[in-house]
Structure 1
Amino acid sequence: MLMTKPVSKETKIFPANISGFLAALGAYVIWGIFPLYMKAVAHIPVMEVVVHRILWSLPIGLGIIIVIGHGRALWTALKQPKMVAMACLTSALITANWSIYIWAIANNHAVDAALGYYINPLVNVLLGLIFLRERLNRWQWCSIMLAIVAVLILTINAGGLPWIAILLPLTFGFYAFFRKSLPIGPTEGFSLETLIMTIPAIIGWGYFIATGQDYFFHGTWKDVGLLVLAGPFTAIPFILFAVGAKMLNLTTLGLMQYLTPTFLFLIAIFVFHEPFSTVQLFAFSLIWLGLIVYTAASLSTMKHRQPKETIIELKKHPQK
């Protein structure tokens, strides 16, 4: 007699592994409150902050590589020119993203930065359409059109394109797009990118020191502490996210990704007291509506796909 397990009619949204959930939550919360740190270093040049993010992240990344015993994988990657070339590209993109983000917070554009990271999932969909020839359903098109209308409204209101809200999701979207092509684990990838960025970071730090513009040797002890903290603030959430991503399904991660821009948005309004007009509220409402439509469509797609995949799996491996 053929016995099969009943086909589930529901998609599991909540994680079965609480450790993975807490790790991902920790990553998104740290990313969410990171603007508070960046505001504290707003008096320091943007590129010097980026330099110290790189330099103090390196020992953390390499230390974890040694502890988990993945040093050989990193060494193998360093000996492959194509992989190093791709890592150079992803390093440049994430450095650009960091620089824009830090500048935005320091110059009172946290609201624009929050908008950019809300748009990010929709930019990923567009990149899939353009470069991977992925097909979009009508609800995904609806989400993208809502985002475009919101950007147009903000452009007309401000008299120019909201460049921060556009460049942040573009740089991070392309970073994620090319990062997927690196056949290396997340921790090893992070360490590889940091190693590549270390050489220009040292050169940059040398320039700041030689010209007397650096805050590490010519600043206060508070400045030194803040610059050293740039490493943990960069490396720790990335590693926590890598742990969570391995344990959680993509639906859960997709829903949790909205935590970071929400934290950023609330901090911008209630802590930094940045101006937020009625027009901006309307534009944000369109983005939020687009994200609701996009998320609901994604959940619906997964819900209808799972029974079919389960039936196929049962046919391949029937239990007697």
Structure 2
Amino acid sequence: MTPLRLGYLYGFGAYLLWGFFPLYLKLLRPAGPLEILAHRIVWSVAFVALLLAAQRNIAFLRALARRPRVLAGITVAAALIAVNWGTYIYGVNSDRVVETALGYFINPLVVVLLGVTVLRERLRRAQWVALGVGGLAVAVLTVDYGHVPYLALTLALSFGGYSLVKKRLGLPAAEGLFVESAVLALPALGYLGWLASSGGVQFGHVSATHTTLLVLAGAATAVPLLLFAGAANRLPLTNLGMIQYLAPILQLACGVLIFHEPMPPARLAGFALVWLALIVFTADAVRTARRTRIAARTNAPTPATTAAR
């Protein structure tokens, strides 16, 4: 199998798992969002530690300990992904899967906005149009919900910020996930200990299946992230960006078709504006990537030119 096909296989695998993740989270009730989040963190550490041990790749920790600025960046990334995970779990288990899907639909637009505000990047005209349509969509959805869709915006902003920090850190997927989860593990264990002492813990008190599913939350977290890393290493960024919409499409389908969440006309209009913004954004990205490739081929030296040199 060629690296490109393998990249697509990894990418579709990651986004399919993320797309159907609401079905998994629903099975973890009656555990509350914070208990699920704590188990997700703790078992992620255990799963990735076993993976790294099998690969004999623990030595990176010693090198990382000598890089305090990187450790500080990892701490920020850990805080952002904890907010993202916790908000997502809360959204799914409070029957707001549609709003969580909205968060991941608008995430690419938030990433572009962060590029302007944080990295001082310049936007092309089409990107400004996409941001404007996305802002209009949020306004329409605010009217529909009766309040700002804070759940969706929190998901988009936290994952956008996490992506920005991860891009600057440049850590491999497994190693990065291990250290981020390890940073969060102590607070997570402390919370689980307090929950057990207060008699509110659900782990081990519902059923053997429920306990097993909470333990497997670590693998359910790590596997799609590792698949995504494998795709990112093999696919052009534009191609990867095209398939990222698979996850929120599936999440939206879960919310409407499986969990029967409402989709009134005003909300549908808001989503339609989001999709329009994404079409403009994606078309511009594809066009720019094509122009870049053509320019690279035009400027590449021919065999005759190379021989003359």
TM-score, length of structure 2 as denominator length: 0.94
1:193 partner letter: E
Q: 2 CA distance for matches of 1:125 and 1:259?
A: 19
2:304 counterpart of 1:308: no
Equivalent residue, structure 1, for 2:197? 210
1:262 to partner: Cα distance: 0.3
Among candidates 60, 65, 68, match of residue 78 of structure 1: 65
What residue in structure 2 maps to residue 113 of structure 1? Answer: 100
Matched, 1:243 2:243: no
1:109-140: per-residue Cα shift (whole Å, max 9, x none)? 11111111000000000000111111111111
Computed over aligned residues only, the root mean square deviation of the Cα atoms, in angstroms, reads 1.7
For residue 37 of structure 2, give the secondary structure of its aligned residue in structure 1.
Answer: helix
Deviation at 1:164, TM superposition (A): 0.8
Amino acid at match of 1:307: I
Counterpart check, 1:153 vs 2:140: yes
Contact 1:78–1:192 (CA under 8 A) maintained in structure 2: no
| Of 80-89 and 142-151, the range deviating more from structure 2 | 80-89
Kindly indicate whether the alpha-carbon contact (under 8 Å) linking 1:90 and 1:175 is maintained by their aligned counterparts in 2: yes
Q: Which amino acid aligns with 1:246?
A: N
1:240-265 Cα shifts (integer Å, max 9, x gaps): 11111111111111001000000000
User: 1:200 Cα shift?
Assistant: 1.1
Distance 2:262 2:146 in 1: 16
Kept in 1, the 8 Å contact 2:19–2:250? The answer is: yes
Structure 2 residue matching 1:214: 3-state secondary structure = coil
Distance (whole Å) between structure 1 residues aligned to residue 32 and residue 179 of structure 2: 25
Letter in 2 for 1:66: A
Corresponding position of 1:88 = 75
Contact 2:7 2:233 in 1 (8 A): yes
Unaligned runs of 5+ in 2: none
Q: Does 1:221 align with 2:208?
A: yes
**2:285 maps to which residue?**
298
After TM superposition, give the deviation of residue 58 of structure 1 in Å: 1.2
In the alignment, what sits opposite 2:256?
269
2:145 is equivalent to residue 167 of structure 1: no
Give 5+ residue unaligned stretches, structure 1: 1-14
How far 1:319 sits from its partner (Å)? 4.1
Aligned partner of 1:138 in structure 2 is 125
Q: 1:306 to 1:140 in 2, by over 3 A?
A: same
Aligned to 1:45: 32
Q: Distance in 1 between matches of 2:12 and 2:306?
A: 38
- Farther-moved stretch of structure 1 (159-168 vs 76-85): 76-85
* Contact 1:24 1:244 (C-alpha < 8 Å) held by counterparts: yes
Which one-letter code corresponds to 1:112 in the other structure? E
Q: State the match for 2:42 in structure 1.
A: 55
Contact kept in structure 1, 2:30 and 2:202, CA below 8 Å: no
* Whole-angstrom CA distance in 2 between matches of 1:263 and 1:318: 51
- Amino acid of the residue matched to residue 146 of structure 1? V
1:65 to 28, 52, 58: 52
What displacement does 1:318 show?
5.0
What residue in structure 1 maps to residue 221 of structure 2? Answer: 234
Structure 1 distance, partners of 2:170, 2:110, is 23
Question: 1:31 matched to which residue of 2?
Answer: 18
Out of 288, 292, 300, the position equivalent to 2:275 is: 288
What is the Cα deviation at residue 315 of structure 1? 6.9
Question: Size of the alignment, in residue pairs?
Answer: 306
Asked if 2 retains the 8 angstrom alpha-carbon contact of 1:212 and 1:218, the reply is no
Q: 1:12 corresponds to which residue?
A: none
- SS of 1:247's equivalent in the other structure is coil
User: Deviation at 1:317?
Assistant: 10
SS of 1:71's partner is coil
Deviation at 1:69, TM superposition (A): 3.7
Deviation at residue 78 of structure 1 after TM alignment: 3.0
Paired residues of 1:47 and 1:99 also in contact (CA < 8 A): yes
2: CA distance, partners of 1:226 / 1:16:
33
Structure 2 Cα separation of the partners of residues 152 and 236 of structure 1: 36
Does the 8 Å CA contact 2:31/2:203 hold for their aligned counterparts?
A: no
| Deviations, residues 297-317 of structure 1 (Å, cap 9, x unaligned) | 000011111122233442799
